[in-house]
Copies of this chain bind each other. A is one copy, B any other.
């Protein structure tokens, strides 16, 4: 069991704008580049022996994804952008007060990124906070470069944590707000979605053995672009990359597909969630027994989607130990012969209290 998460005292959290980039360790950069660039259509801002820096068509910061060469697949960092240079310092103060590992990083420590702070947060994840970043051309109207599955921007991170309630409390302390969650009859919290920008989430918390990275998600503008990603994978005889979907989420109401990269990092292509920016935005709470919560069409979640996730690293690049979830597992209570998600006829006719 991980130690109870420390709570911040009088130190205010940094003012976070949004989920900004992920740094993934990949074992075969050429294979990864082919996946993210040739198949998913992301744009290369820079590449060298060590890493590939990618962005989507509407983004003007240097990158929203870094693929860094390494021995074993892992998450090296999830980076949040903060509102000003001073908020980088605020992040340092905040995490030092929490007593977790904190590291200042000079401008350029990650190419294209200004002065930053990296920490291992109380949930065990390597986070970065930065404000300054190199601007590059925004290609949002370069329709001649957009494929039929054009990706617009990074949208969110999804992480696996053993104790969702604890993780939610930590993220609320950080200034995030819950938009939706999944709960059991006994009020067990199975998953939670929290946001800073005006979308359903910048971070989602999935109950399970953790800390692990469940997925990163990119947005498109329309459902047709999500479908084309799948059609193109089929055309290249690479449909094995498709893990789950396409489908319509219950939670978030977004249209989605999950694909796995060559190192089995999971990527979601995601579109058309809803505006959440009002201060009294109501939380939509789903019953874990509702088999439309994860797929509005009731299609079952494949077991790998619940079970598999990426290793996360500490600041020295060492894998973080994984702690087992102690509460009920969503997969166990909902998948297969003893669960109820497949048993559609018997599924409870419950839904969110809209």
Given A239-B298, A297-B239, A347-B240: A146 and B144 interface contact (C-beta under 8 Å): no
Provide the bound-state CA to CA distance between A137 and B83, in Å: 33
Which residues on the B side are within 8 Å of A253 (C-beta)? 140-141
| Interface-lining segment among A25-33, A102-110, A120-128, A276-284 | A276-284
Provide the bound-state CA to CA distance between A92 and B257, in Å: 48
Q: Are the CB atoms of A197 and B277 closer together than 8 Å?
A: yes
Q: Are the CB atoms of A345 and B240 closer together than 8 Å?
A: yes
Which chain A residues numbered 121 to 167 have a C-beta less than 8 Å away from chain B? 131, 135, 137-148, 150, 152-153
Q: Are the CB atoms of B344 and A239 closer together than 8 Å?
A: yes
Provide the bound-state CA to CA distance between A237 and B138, in Å: 17
Provide the bound-state CA to CA distance between A245 and B77, in Å: 36
Q: Are the CB atoms of A148 and B143 closer together than 8 Å?
A: yes
Q: Are the CB atoms of A242 and B299 closer together than 8 Å?
A: yes
* CB nearest neighbor in B for A135: B282
* Majority SS at the chain A contact face: loop
Q: Does A6 contact B (CB under 8 A)?
A: no
- Which single member of B142, B147, B223 contacts A147 (CB below 8 Å)? B147
| Minimum C-beta distance from A283 to chain B (A) | 12
Q: Are the CB atoms of B279 and A240 closer together than 8 Å?
A: no
| Interface-lining segment among A43-51, A206-214, A224-232, A306-314 | A224-232
Given A150-B148, A197-B275: A296 and B246 interface contact (C-beta under 8 Å): no
Provide the bound-state CA to CA distance between A141 and B284, in Å: 12
